[in-house]
Each structure stands twice: as C-alpha cells, then as structure tokens.
Amino acid sequence: MTRVHIDSTFDQDLEQIRELMLAMGGRVEEAITLSAKALEERDEDLAQNVVEGDHAVDRLEEEIDQNVVRLLALRQPQAGDLRAVIAVMKMAADLERLGDYAKNMAKRVAVLSAGPQIEGAGSSIRRQARQVGQMLKDMLDAFARLDVDLAQDVIHRDVEVDHMTNALFREFITHMMEDPRNISACLHYTFIAKNVERMGDLVTGGAEQVIFLATGERVGDRPKGDSTATIDMKPE
C-alpha cells in the first residue's frame, strides 16, 4: 500500500510540474508571436509588453526548479521517473532561453522603428517566427500527450527554418550592399533571424526530450542547424 501511495503522490507532483511547463510554454509561444508582430508593425508599446512579460517566464522556470527540487527530495524517484523529472527541468531551461530570444527581438523594435524601412524584412521575420511558434505549440502538445509522431514531425520541420534563415541572410546582405545606410538595421535583422533559427533548434531539442520521455530512447545526433557558420554569405 505504501508503494502505491508513493507512486500516486509522485505522479501528482509530476503532473503539477508538467502543467507549469505547459503554462510557461504557452507564454513563450505568445511572446514569440507578439515580438514578431511588434517588429513588423513597428509597435514599440507591444514590444515593451513582451520585454516586461519575460519576468513571468523566468519566474515560472524558478517555480518549476523549486518543484523539481522538492519532488526529488520528498519522493526520491528512481530510474525512469528520475530521468523524466530531469528531462522536464531541462525543457524548462530551454523554454527560458526561448523567452530570452523573444525578448531580445522585442528589444530591437525601438531602434529598428527609428531607422530606415527594409522592404519585406519585418514580414519575412514574422513568417519565420510563425513557423517556429507553430513548432513550439506542437512540441508542447506532443509533450502533453507524449505523442512521438508529432514530436518527430516537429524535428523534421526545423530544416525549413534553417532554409528560411539562409534566405533571409541573403536578403539582408543584398539590402546592405545596395545602400550602406541599411547596414545598421540589417545587422539587427540578421541577429533576429539567427535567434529565431536558434529558437527552432531549442524547440527541436525539446521534441527530442519528448521522444526520450515517451520511449526511453535518445534521438541520434541531429545536424545542429548552424549551417550559417559554414556558408559564404552572398547577396541574392
């Protein structure tokens, strides 16, 4: 009987942590959507909201960490349970970084809104961010119901993000070459595109954790998506 009692309490505690994770993920997803919207629409107030909202994301990570520590101390889970708890903690750390990248995008809105219009830049970034936001949403759904197929699908879609990023780089370089006055703004856009690409990598990492949680198996070494390090960036 004691054993049953311990198990179900453990499951309840873990469920609580999972719910915090999903709440955190929902907030991060919203931050990605809104920062990209603020960027395209040059909406500095909205950008400021995203920057300020990141505190709530950070606090959720702290809350998850505290719950994890408490759960480890009180329930002393073994083997698979222990690995599940640690996987969730790592996913929360990745979500926190995703939130930081969204915040970073929002922080760039003010200086970009004051600078020259770079044709198509805002809408292209928003399309790239939408792709990553959808991947994050699906990754969280996959996490909620331990859906391996959906997690695999998320992983495959990251390649599209990498292609979009490379196309964006070429686009921004073209604008820089056309007019040196575009250089400062295009540098900011390039950093943003790179950060959105990194968000895709983090979401992919989360999807791999979901597969690990569901199957106990590690997904093999995937290409890290930093192909932009090796390409000779050329204009369109």
- Contacts to a second copy by CB under 8 A: 65, 68-69, 72-73, 76-79, 82-83, 86, 89-90, 93, 100, 104, 107-108, 110-111, 114-115, 169, 173, 176-177, 180, 183-184, 187-188, 190-191, 194, 224, 226, 228-234
Q: Cβ 180 to a second copy, closest distance in Å?
A: 4
Q: Cβ 72 to a second copy, closest distance in Å?
A: 6
> Whose Cβ is closer to a second copy: residue 56's or residue 187's?
187
Judge contact between 39 and 125, C-beta under 8 A.
yes
Q: Cβ 58 to a second copy, closest distance in Å?
A: 9
> Whose Cβ is closer to a second copy: residue 149's or residue 232's?
232
Burial annotation 147-173 (CB, 10 A radius, 16+ → b, else e): bbebbbebbebbeebbebbbebbebbb
> What's the CA gap between 208 and 133, in Å, rounded?
17
Judge contact between 192 and 139, C-beta under 8 A.
no
Q: Cβ 226 to a second copy, closest distance in Å?
A: 6
